[in-house]
Amino acid sequence: MHTDSARSVPLRLPHRAPPGDDREVTLIRPTSEAARPRGLVRGTGAGRAAAVLVLTLLAALIPLLGPSAALHGTGEAAAPGTAGIGLLRTVLFAALAVLAGELLVHRLARRLPGAPAPAPMPRGWSAYAAVAGLAAALGLALVVATGNLVPHHLSQIDLGGLYRTRDGALALLEVNAFLVAALCAASRRPATQAWPLAAVVAAEALRAHPTTEHSPLVGSALTVVHLTCASLWTGALLHTLRTCARWRGGPAAAALLGRYARVAAVLLAGVTATGVCSSLRRMPPHSVLEQLTGTAYGRVLLAKVVLVAGVALLALWARTRLHRAADPLTACLPARVEVVALGAVVAVSGLLTALPLPLPW
């Protein structure tokens, strides 16, 4: 026997009847899936979500094949170790997102209506993320110590030089910040991770805009906002979905997803505004179209724009389901696809930071 919401299992039990009557009755017991919200077990529209994700990733395939593909035909020379540096920055950005996202979701889950008391949270990934970020920061520090080249021998590494240059000092700051974040994650007050994470964001913003650049402080301020919003958006969505699964749905999970959706709208606006401003600083308006297709940096940036546009559509779809569907937790399906696409955005961002900046035309 089947119902609309879940499969049922017949259960035969003896029926109390007069002596000599051996009749049995069949009771219907729903399986455990019936107790779960449909959005966490099986979502509708899986084909549409997969189609959006596939189209978004296909649009970004050419620049994501690697630095050589992005540089092909541009006349630009590839810096040694671009792929390795891009990978290290991807790991660093992903670690920052996981750490920041968990902090935000723990704050959103406080005093949530209908939440179990105490609210059981999924096992944190902060300690693992901090260790991964520390490893990536160490790798990038070694690159700086070798003159912004990937070292092949220990003799090429000048650790003392890290203390004599601006880039070296910023690299050491990131290493120490991730180390402190790892210690905070293992302590009884994990919320103190916010301070070392802020130091990582500040160091990345200063590194991305050297003093020789026009108005470097303006560029650094834009990067601080952009990186903070992007990290919170990506990491908080991941931890929100994990928390909803841990709570096995219910009103509390829907309320948490709604709180995240309201915050995510602000974060998306921050990412978009700062991204546009930063891009126009790198590529003047009169030449932006040519540089988007004629330079490696522009091609990867274009891929990132396409990915973010796809993510925004997925976020809109999830928000619509959250407010209009009979079961708000059906929004988890497009949200899962969204978090995968955001992971691709993080990878593209890591590659983007390793490519040479376009020359002003």
pLDDT tens string, the chain, 361 residues long: the values are 444 444 444 444 444 455 555 554 444 434 334 444 444 544 445 664 564 456 445 443 433 456 666 776 777 766 777 878 888 898 899 999 999 999 999 999 887 766 666 667 888 899 999 999 999 999 999 998 887 777 777 777 888 878 889 999 999 999 999 999 999 999 888 899 999 999 999 999 999 998 888 889 999 999 999 999 999 999 999 999 999 888 877 788 888 999 999 999 999 999 999 999 999 888 877 778 888 888 888 888 998 999 999 999 999 999 999 888 888 888 888 999 898 899 889 989 988 998 888 776 5
pLDDT of residue 21: 52
Q: Output the pLDDT for position 283.
A: 84
Which residue's entry shows tokens 């490893």?
135
Beta bridge partners of 11: 27
CA distance 120 to 339: 22
pLDDT at 117: 61
What pTM was computed for the model? 0.81
Domain ranges of the chain: 1-35, 36-354
Contact 90, 349 (CB under 8 A): yes
Q: Of the candidates 27, 163, 190, which has an alpha carbon nearest to the alpha carbon of residue 107?
A: 190
Specify the pLDDT at position 13: 44
What tokens does 8 get? 């049922």
Amino acid in the structure at residue 355: L
